[in-house]
Structure formats: C-alpha cells, structure tokens
Amino acid sequence: MADSVYKVIELVGTSPKSWEDAARNAVEIAGQSLRDLRIAEVGQLDLKVEDGRAVAFRARVKLSFKYSAE
C-alpha cells in the first residue's frame, strides 16, 4: 500500500429537521468539492433557538479526506 496523507477539516452542518440531517448535509455538500472523503466524526451537537423554540439543528463534523498536492 502506498503512503497517504489525509487532511482533517471541521464543518458545521445545519438542518431544520434533525442532527442526523445536519451532519449528512455537511458531508454531502463538502463531497461536492472535496475528493476521497474518508471519515466523518460528529463532535458536537447544538440547537439554534428563537422565541424559546428549536428552529435549527447543528452538527459540528470533523471530516477527513485524502490530501493531494495537485
């Protein structure tokens, strides 16, 4: 197996429905511009609150992808 290098970035995905959708949105949108996504790790969950109601779910996601100098 050839040596590889991976980069890790942190993203925040949002959704009006659920934390799962928020995390999925972060990964799917990142996948539109990043190649070779490998691992997504959800590290923190929170809610946006307005007028005492949860209006958005947010998931902080660490995402790794294969790094290329190209």
- pLDDT by 10s per residue, the chain, length 70: 567 888 999 999 999 999 999 999 999 999 999 888 989 999 999 999 999 999 999 999 999 998 876 6
> From start to end of the chain, where are the E strands?
6-15, 37-50, 53-66
Token representation of residue 1: 């197996």
* Dihedral of alpha carbons 58, 61, 65, 69, sign: positive
Q: Model pTM? A: 0.83
33: DSSP letter: T
